[in-house]
C-alpha cells in the first residue's frame, strides 16, 4: 500500500478521491487544512502528498512552502487554479507536479503511480558515485553533496539532476527531459522543467542570471557543465 496524505477541505471531493485511491492500493490519510498537514508530516512521513491550494486556514502555496521545509518526498498540487502563474509558483516552491481539477480519477492514479515508480527505481539504481569537482551524486542513496555539505533535494529535483549529470556535456532538449522524467513528450507549454532547473540552480549555487553549472542553450535546452564544479 502506498501511503498518501490528502490535504483537501472539500468533504465530498475528499471522500470520492479517498475511496478511489483506496481501491487502487493507496492508504489515504486525509486532513482538511494546512496546519494539520504540517503537523501530520512532523509526526509521520507519507510517500506522497496530494495538496489542494484552496484551504480554509492557510494559503495553499504557503502550505506547500512550509511542507517542503520538513518533507523531501513526493508532493503534488491538486487545484482548480489552472492559470500559469499558480502552476509556475507551485513548482518553484518545490511541488513535483501540478494536477488541475477536474481530473479523471484513472489519470490521477496513473500519474501518482508514475511518480512512485520513478522514485522507487531511483532508489534501486546502479550504485556508482558521480563526481564532478566539488559535486558528488550518489544514485544508490539518492544523496547530493556540494563542497562536502549535503544538499536537500526533492525527488523530482534529484531525478532531474541525475539525468543532466549522466548526460554531462550534452545538450538535453526539454523533450528529452520530459521523456526521462515523465515518459511523455514536451507539449511546448509546460513550465515544470524550467521551474525545477531554476530551483536546482539556486540550491547548487548557480545564479539564474548567468548560470555556469547548468547552462541554458537558447532554443535547444539545458547542458550540465562537468567543469563548472571546481
Please give the chain's pLDDT, 230 residues, in tens: 899 999 999 999 999 999 999 999 999 999 999 999 999 998 888 999 999 999 999 999 999 999 988 888 899 999 998 888 888 888 888 898 999 998 899 989 998 998 888 777 655 444 578 889 899 998 878 899 999 899 999 888 898 999 899 888 889 888 778 777 765 444 444 567 888 899 999 999 987 678 889 999 888 889 999 888 98
| Domain 2-121 class, CATH top level | alpha beta
pLDDT at residue number 142: 86
**What's residue 187's pLDDT?**
45
Q: What pLDDT shows up at residue 227?
A: 87
Nine cell digits for residue 118: 520513478
Q: Which fold has domain 125-224?
A: Arc Repressor Mutant, subunit A (1.10.10)
Q: What are phi and psi of 170, to 5 degrees?
A: -110, 135
Residue 124 has a pLDDT of: 44
pLDDT of residue 69: 85
Q: What are the residue ranges spanned by the domains of the chain? A: 2-121, 125-224
Amino acid at each position: 500500500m502506498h501511503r498518501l496524505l490528502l490535504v483537501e477541505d472539500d468533504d465530498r471531493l475528499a471522500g470520492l478521491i479517498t475511496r478511489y485511491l483506496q481501491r487502487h492500493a493507496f492508504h489515504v490519510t486525509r486532513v482538511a487544512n494546512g496546519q494539520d498537514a504540517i503537523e501530520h508530516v512532523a509526526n509521520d512521513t507519507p510517500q506522497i502528498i496530494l495538496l489542494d491550494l484552496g484551504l480554509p486556514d492557510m494559503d495553499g502555496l504557503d502550505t506547500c512552502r512550509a511542507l517542503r521545509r520538513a518533507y523531501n518526498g513526493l508532493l503534488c498540487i491538486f487545484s482548480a487554479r489552472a492559470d500559469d502563474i499558480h502552476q509556475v509558483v507551485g513548482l518553484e516552491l518545490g511541488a513535483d507536479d501540478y494536477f488541475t481539477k477536474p481530473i479523471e480519477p484513472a489519470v490521477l492514479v496513473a500519474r501518482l503511480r508514475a511518480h512512485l515508480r520513478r522514485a522507487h527505481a531511483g532508489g534501486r539504481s546502479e550504485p556508482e558515485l558521480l563526481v564532478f569537482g566539488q559535486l558528488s551524486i550518489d544514485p544508490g542513496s539518492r544523496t547530493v553533496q556540494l563542497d562536502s555539505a549535503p544538499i536537500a533535494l526533492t525527488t523530482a529535483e534529484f531525478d532531474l539532476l541525475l539525468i543532466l549529470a549522466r548526460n554531462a556535456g550534452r545538450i538535453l532538449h526539454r523533450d528529452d527531459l520530459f521523456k526521462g522524467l515523465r515518459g511523455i513528450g514536451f507539449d511546448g507549454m509546460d513550465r515544470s522543467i524550467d521551474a525545477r532547473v531554476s530551483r536546482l540552480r539556486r540550491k547548487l549555487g548557480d545564479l539564474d542570471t548567468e548560470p555556469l553549472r547548468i547552462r541554458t542553450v537558447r532554443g535547444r535546452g539545458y547542458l550540465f557543465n562537468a567543469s563548472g564544479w571546481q
